[in-house]
Structure 1
Amino acid sequence: MGEKLAVDEQMVPFKGRNRLKQYLPAKPKKWGYKILVLAGSDGVPHNFEIYTGRVVQPPELPDVGASGNVVLRLAQPIPKHQKHKLFFDNWFTSVPLILTLAQQGIHCAGTVRVNRLPGVSMMCDAELKRTGRGSFDQKTAMVGDTTLHAVKWYDNRSVSLLSDYIGAHPVTDVDRWDGKQKKVIRVPCPAVVREYNKNMGGVDLLDSLIALYRTKIRSKKWYHRLMFHFIDMTTVTAWLLYKRDCSSTGMSKEEQIRLYTFKSYIGESLCKSGKNLEHKRGRPSSTIAGEYKEKRKRGPATPIPVPDVRLDATAHWMVMDEKKGRCKVPGCKGTPKAKCQKCDVHLCFTSTSNCFLRFHTE
């Protein structure tokens, strides 16, 4: 689990009839089931909860309000007093929530609604606008052993943030487009705003990766949509962990498998790994794919199956093809007629070269 984590909403697209269906106008898919997710800044999810309305808080957790209780439930897997940092938006942020997490050694930062800052008087929007773009106001207060920083920053409009570990300083400049001057200008940006923008997008990253190759199924059953959504989430999570491991070993991004290929490998492994070939009864049927294969004079090389299929030691039968093909064992230049019926690749099988055995064992 990484140091920087975020809690945010995720939508499972659904337009059927169900009382759990929600409408979120700010999301790309506005209708569907809302899932509240705890994820790292790299997009790896660690906990989630399907939104079903107000629920009873477990007795071992404090009650800090309906939205704040969601964060406390999702944050249970986070190790205590390990200096983890948690980010969330203004639907969750409140003073009691941040104080409760601070007692557990979890630092927080998030956008906050002004009415959730009782007794805090910040500069009004008109005054900040007169001061200029990039102006901000900061208030600091001690509550017990916790220092709270409330920062209001004005860019195109104002935004308020609350944190227990970072305030407005150090202030850095960020690039912003000026519509009047028609050019990019430098605007002062408080540290808490920069920290929030940098680490809040983990759930959105996960959601965008799921949407790239979502399993599309037309069904009015709510559990079908949720089940396939969680399958997609699991696949993306496995790919993100794979990329993390590849980066730790120094593998370049060009050598790493893309998400589309990774997902197809999983499908191929589930369909073929450890399974015998099924022989159909009756006369062989001609398919469009088979006819197209016969028409091709010269096409791309036959792909090598994934290791889960190649090394499963199940139903790899040798057959003789009518035409010769290049042996698929690296370094072998033979062109045998022998091929594996399951892997559909040509392999040498002679008294001097047993590529068939090497291909299925190494």
Structure 2
Amino acid sequence: MLHLAGIHVVMGVLGYAQSKLYWQQNNQVPLIAKCMTRDCFYELRNYMHFVDNTSEHNEKLWKVKRFLDCVQKKSLTLPRSHHISNEEQMVPFSGKCGFVTCVPPKPNPLGLKCFILAAPDGLVLDFMFYAGSGTVSAEDMKEYGRSAAVVKMTESVPRDNQHCVYTDRFFTSVKSVDMLLGRKIYQRGTVMKNRLGPIVKKLKNDMLFQRGEWEEWVREDSKICLIKWKDNKSVLILSAFVGSGPPTTCKRWSREQKRKIDVPQPVAVKLYNENMGSVDLCDRFLSYYRWYICTSKWPVRMFNNFIDLVIVNCWVMYHRWCSENEIPKQRRFSLMDYKMHVGKAMINYKYVEPVARRRGRPSVVNSSDSEDVDDVQNMDKKPRRALSQLQKLGLTM
């Protein structure tokens, strides 16, 4: 399995159109061809299973549950950043599966939907697959709506008033912000008008705003604020961490002046823009060297996707280590070089069986030394019959 995973990693970096090309005489890749034959590769991929298919099951993800649990267990041990974003990620797949979904705004709209909790540099900290009804409890769905996914994903976030979760408008609501405040976790995100209640009527019309202007509403308990800021279009930000001050500026293109100008911007919007794109950044890393060979089996696609995800996580941690040790960027591995090194190491790995321990008293000399000693003793020994004949002739020492 380790050799098979390494071949998939190298295939993703090289990017041939068909998997059989790696074994053809004109296009052969010796690293892959020497490790495994083509027929063996296809056979292993066709018969790859993580559980017994004849066993009883109640979950939709039962075929990859053990593998996903191993990856998630390691992800939960990674260091938590103070700013974390929660968003959807799609595993591209168009075959037969009971929980394939379509999200049109995504680069890969059709596939398996996964909720990701990630750090600003793209490090995946936790994940949860959407498998239809039952992914989130019915009580939470009734209470929080789509924000129930955020409620469940933030269970692994430390509750110490030092972490802020960023969400988009589909997963932000006043109820979710209040619930996370009860867990000592802050939330900030864009929000829809139909989730704000009566305060929507107090907001000014978009036509009354100039570019860079905003208005701010603070709740009576001073725990949540709502900011409406006008850029090219108006944007609504619900925040439990900071408000509009201290104000900052951002660069925007001016059609009238034909150059970039400074536009006033609330600090809550600036923090949102800086920390919200972590899941998109992880998607970009995965798309660079993804294994795109077609397969009709969703467990195989899931396996390949999370092998790539684990390597991307390792590469992000490697870059953090390089930054801490002030290693120049010229001496750091790029993602392509890093994946190629990992793939080669997986392919060249050789399993060595442990030597069975012998019973009895341990020997004083090594096995190799004992063989040499035995050879010397055998050379010194003389046959008894020959020795007796020599003694009769008087030729012995």
Which one of the candidate residues 224, 227, 233 is aligned to 1:148? 224
2:294 is equivalent to residue 218 of structure 1: yes
- How far did 1:25 drift? 2.2
Number of residue-to-residue matches in the alignment: 271
Give the conservation status (yes or no) of the 8 Å contact 1:136–1:154: yes
Q: Which residue of 1 aligns with 2:189?
A: 110
Higher strand share: 1
Aligned amino acid, residue 186 of structure 1? D
Q: Which residue of 2 aligns with 1:33?
A: 112
Work out the CA distance in 1 between the residues paired with 2:138 and 2:254.
52
Aligned amino acid, residue 325 of structure 2? T
Aligned amino acid, residue 37 of structure 1? I
**Structure 2, gaps ≥5 residues long:** 1-79, 353-397
Work out the CA distance in 1 between the residues paired with 2:181 and 2:339.
40
Q: Which residue of 1 aligns with 2:177?
A: 98
**Cα deviations across residues 153-193 of structure 1 (Å, max 9, x unaligned)?**
11111110101111111111211012344221221111111
Which one of the candidate residues 179, 186, 207 is aligned to 2:255? 179
Q: 1:162 to 1:2 in 2, by over 3 A?
A: same
Which one of the candidate residues 224, 238, 243 is aligned to 2:319? 243
2:281 is equivalent to residue 205 of structure 1: yes
Q: Note the aligned Cα RMSD (angstroms).
A: 2.0
TM-score (ref. length: structure 2):
0.65
Q: Which residue of 2 aligns with 1:316?
A: none
Give the conservation status (yes or no) of the 8 Å contact 2:161–2:186: no
Q: Which residue of 1 aligns with 2:85?
A: 6
Q: Secondary structure at the match of 1:80?
A: coil
Q: 1:180 to 1:228 in 2, by over 3 A?
A: same
- How far did 1:16 drift? 2.7
Which one of the candidate residues 214, 219, 225 is aligned to 1:136? 214
Q: Which residue of 2 aligns with 1:126?
A: 207
Q: 1:88 to 1:207 in 2, by over 3 A?
A: same
* Structure with greater contact order relative to length (CA < 8 Å, sep ≥ 6): 2
Aligned amino acid, residue 285 of structure 2? L
Q: 1:238 to 1:64 in 2, by over 3 A?
A: farther
Aligned amino acid, residue 194 of structure 2? N
Which one of the candidate residues 155, 161, 165 is aligned to 1:86? 165
- How far did 1:37 drift? 0.1
Give the conservation status (yes or no) of the 8 Å contact 1:38–1:74: yes
Q: Which moved more, 1:12-21 or 1:52-61?
A: 52-61
- How far did 1:15 drift? 2.5
Q: 1:169 to 1:33 in 2, by over 3 A?
A: same
Q: Which moved more, 1:134-143 or 1:186-195?
A: 134-143
Give the conservation status (yes or no) of the 8 Å contact 1:166–1:191: yes
Aligned amino acid, residue 44 of structure 1? L
Work out the CA distance in 2 between the residues paired with 1:62 and 1:22.
19
Q: 1:61 to 1:32 in 2, by over 3 A?
A: closer
Give the conservation status (yes or no) of the 8 Å contact 1:217–1:225: no
- How far did 1:203 drift? 0.8
- How far did 1:217 drift? 2.2
Larger Rg: 2
Q: Secondary structure at the match of 2:237?
A: strand
Q: In percent, how many aligned pairs have the same letter?
A: 32
Work out the CA distance in 1 between the residues paired with 2:259 and 2:290.
38
Higher helix share: 2
Q: 1:240 to 1:95 in 2, by over 3 A?
A: same
Give the conservation status (yes or no) of the 8 Å contact 2:251–2:262: yes
- How far did 1:12 drift? 1.4
Give the conservation status (yes or no) of the 8 Å contact 1:57–1:63: no
2:67 is equivalent to residue 20 of structure 1: no
Give the conservation status (yes or no) of the 8 Å contact 2:119–2:125: yes
Which one of the candidate residues 225, 236, 255 is aligned to 1:160? 236
Q: Which residue of 2 aligns with 1:270?
A: 346
TM-score (ref. length: structure 1):
0.71
Runs of 4+ in 1 over 6 A off after TM superposition: 59-63
- How far did 1:250 drift? 1.8
**Cα deviations across residues 235-270 of structure 1 (Å, max 9, x unaligned)?**
100111111112112212111111111111111111
Q: Secondary structure at the match of 2:346?
A: helix
Work out the CA distance in 2 between the residues paired with 1:105 and 1:236.
30
**Cα deviations across residues 49-86 of structure 1 (Å, max 9, x unaligned)?**
11223426459979642321111211111111241111
Q: Secondary structure at the match of 1:72?
A: helix
- How far did 1:118 drift? 0.7
2:146 is equivalent to residue 67 of structure 1: yes
Give the conservation status (yes or no) of the 8 Å contact 1:40–1:202: yes
**Cα deviations across residues 132-169 of structure 1 (Å, max 9, x unaligned)?**
111111100035xx611100111111110101111111
Q: Secondary structure at the match of 2:290?
A: coil
Work out the CA distance in 2 between the residues paired with 1:183 and 1:251.
37
Q: 1:23 to 1:244 in 2, by over 3 A?
A: same
Q: Secondary structure at the match of 1:254?
A: helix
**Cα deviations across residues 264-316 of structure 1 (Å, max 9, x unaligned)?**
1111111112358xxxxxxxxxxxxxxxxxxxxxxxxxxxxxxxxxxxxxxxx
Give the conservation status (yes or no) of the 8 Å contact 1:6–1:87: yes
2:129 is equivalent to residue 53 of structure 1: no
**Cα deviations across residues 95-134 of structure 1 (Å, max 9, x unaligned)?**
1101111111111110000111112121121222xxx111
Work out the CA distance in 2 between the residues paired with 1:54 and 1:193.
34
Q: 1:41 to 1:211 in 2, by over 3 A?
A: same
